[in-house]
Amino acid sequence: MSGPDKPKVIGEEWSDERVRSFLDLQPWDRAINADYHALLRAYQAMRAEDFERFIGFFVAAGRDLNAVGPEGGTILDLISEHRRSVDYARALEQAGAQKTAAAGD
């Protein structure tokens, strides 16, 4: 996380403990699926290689890679719209994530 008092650190190594900590994130709005929320926050905060590690921990914890977000799509639907997120989408697909039928190809 970065901000005025905490400059962004490029190339910082994340420990397994730090990556796993995203499993504990809960949405402030209980209407938002907790699995979708954790995936979204991890995607927003992590480099692709850390996100791939997170996905392994996420699946091992029995969490749902295909949880649906507020807009009706999965995290893979969202990430697939971002042209610079190919590595993130690949990590999700290799772990078994799918797009919703509404999202198409």
Domain residue extents for the chain: 31-94
Q: How confident is the model at residue 1 (pLDDT cuts 50, 70, 90)?
A: very low
Place of tokens 């290799």: 94
4: left (phi over 0), alpha (psi -120 to 50) or beta: alpha
Q: How many CB atoms lie within 10 A of CB 84?
A: 7
Count the neighbouring beta carbons within 10 Å of the beta carbon of residue 74.
24
Mean pLDDT of the chain: 88
Please give the C-alpha separations between residue 71 and each of 35, 75, 76, 77, 102, in angstroms, as whole numbers.
14, 10, 13, 10, 11
| Distance in angstroms (rounded) separating the CA atoms of residues 59 and 5 | 34
- What pLDDT digit, counting tens, does each position of 25-45 carry? 999 998 899 999 999 999 999
Predicted TM-score of the model (pTM) = 0.83
Mean pLDDT, residues 94-98 taken together:
94
